[in-house]
Amino acid sequence: NAGVMQNPRHLVRRRGQEARLRCSPMKGHSHVYWYRQLPEEGLKFMVYLQKENIIDESGMPKERFSAEFPKEGPSILRIQQVVRGDSAAYFCASSPPLVAEETQYFGPGTRLLVL
Amino acid sequence: SQQGEEDPQALSIQEGENATMNCSYKTSINNLQWYRQNSGRGLVHLILIRSNEREKHSGRLRVTLDTSKKSSSLLITASRAADTASYFCATGGAGSYQLTFGKGTKLSVIP
């Protein structure tokens, strides 16, 4: 059973470009979470999604950031017009449908560098 | 916010010694989880302890939870060089799916 998959693992963008980060949850998991980790910091919650629904986006910046989890395909975290402060590691986690508030299984992360 | 905060920030021990890391949080929780992160990698789930549990074991790991003091500890016995990593505690609130992470303890196990 493959774990949570994220791609790309590393992404370099220039200021003003768009960044698209993809996450495929573990098989059988229908809950997806995105977290951001700045250097030497813990992870900060961004958004929680179920298929075709955003359940909680309270941790998402109000502008430039969006997330989706379509019926088919991976979850996407999209950052428009990136700035240097967006440089961070972005982690996706997933959990099975019935115990959404318990163990979350994390992917390897996407490290975004904005030049 | 119910933020977990680990201490110490960094810990260096000899292989074979025990390592103890502590975590404190601020508000009531449903569960507390410990994760390990190797440098530049993702998080690996180690153990989950629920608010009605006081102690839990998994292999060389022992976790305690004291809800009256809002604190938890992670003990790694007979440490190995491969245990070198950052360790994070994360709290989950009742009815909440957000995990709130501390800044972590960076453990170095010297062979």
Q: How does pLDDT run across A54-84, given as a tens digit for each residue?
A: 999 999 999 999 999 999 999 999 999 999 9
* Amino acid identity at A44: K
Q: In this complex, do B42 and A107 lie within 8 Å of one another by their Cβ atoms?
A: yes
Distance in angstroms (rounded) separating the CA atoms of residues B111 and A74: 41
Q: In this complex, do A109 and B42 lie within 8 Å of one another by their Cβ atoms?
A: yes
**Do residues A1 and A27 touch, judged by C-beta distance below 8 A?**
yes
If pLDDT is split at 50, 70 and 90, which confidence band does B42 have? confident
Can you give the length of chain A in residues?
A: 115
Q: Does A99 touch chain B (CB under 8 A)?
A: no
Distance in angstroms (rounded) separating the CA atoms of residues B81 and B26: 33
DSSP three-state, residue A7: strand
Q: In this complex, do A91 and B43 lie within 8 Å of one another by their Cβ atoms?
A: yes
Q: In this complex, do B97 and A43 lie within 8 Å of one another by their Cβ atoms?
A: no
Q: In this complex, do B97 and A101 lie within 8 Å of one another by their Cβ atoms?
A: yes
What average pLDDT does the segment A81-91 reach? 96
Q: Does B86 touch chain A (CB under 8 A)?
A: no
Task: Choose among A48, A55, A91: nearest Cβ to B42.
Answer: A91
Compare B2 and B67 and report the one with higher pLDDT. Answer: B67
Task: Choose among B42, B45, B90: nearest Cβ to A108.
Answer: B42
Supply the pLDDT for residue A70: 93
Q: Is the pLDDT score of A21 beyond 80?
A: yes
